[in-house]
Chain A
């Protein structure tokens, strides 16, 4: 158990809908990262927040957004969902801004868009 929690574990929804995924980092960690893992694209970095501020942006679609709250938990919002958004979404956390640091991964949220 990494200490990173994610809810929900599974999510089934329809195309065009909007969902929110939630992540709580390990106690004391200031950075939160979001990743998407799919069979065809592999593991893709989406976005990083550090102490409430956006730190780095990867291959995140405009339909997706995220934020980190004052208590350091983070939410990833996915809107206008498409079939291709079906994937495993991981949250990870690290102590600082991420340079030379291990990222600790949560259990993931499996999203199925029908």
Chain B
């Protein structure tokens, strides 16, 4: 079964702290995406990771991909309130000769001042 699991599903943290969100997936893929969703809003692309060892950074967020471990991490450095949102990872799987994204359940991140 194709599964994408995120943990934690909920994270409340203080401003200024560091934390990591994990995304595990069940079957081989070398394409993984991170998105952000603010409450009641649409999804915004954050990172596209397309190979083993890929690392991307934007501001206080850094994402990495280990295809051998089937694991991606989203690391938050010195969190600020504006990063409060739900973060989704999605993995591109080949299903019946077509590719489609399977999504994690999302990690709801609340950053308190």
Contacts and interface: CB of A to CB of B under 8 A. Distances in A.
Given A99-B92, A102-B48, A45 B42 contact: no
Nearest to A6: B42
Interface in A74-110: 90, 92, 98-100, 102-108
Interface of B is mostly: strand
A114 interface: no
A104 B92 contact: no
B12 interface: no
A44 B44 CA distance: 16
Chain A: number of interface residues, binned into ranges: 20 to 34
B31 A100 contact: yes
Nearest to B94: A99
A106 B42 contact: yes
Contact of A104 (B31, B45, B88, B102): B45
A56 B31 contact: no
Give the one of B100, B102, B103 with max A CB within 10 A: B100
A48 interface: yes
A108 B105 CA distance: 18
Interface of A: 2, 42-45, 48, 55-56, 58, 90, 92, 98-100, 102-108
Interface of B: 31, 33, 35, 41-45, 48, 50, 88, 90, 92, 95, 98-106
- Sorted from nearest, which 6 A-B pairs have the closest CB atoms? A56-B98, A43-B103, A105-B43, A105-B42, A102-B45, A56-B100
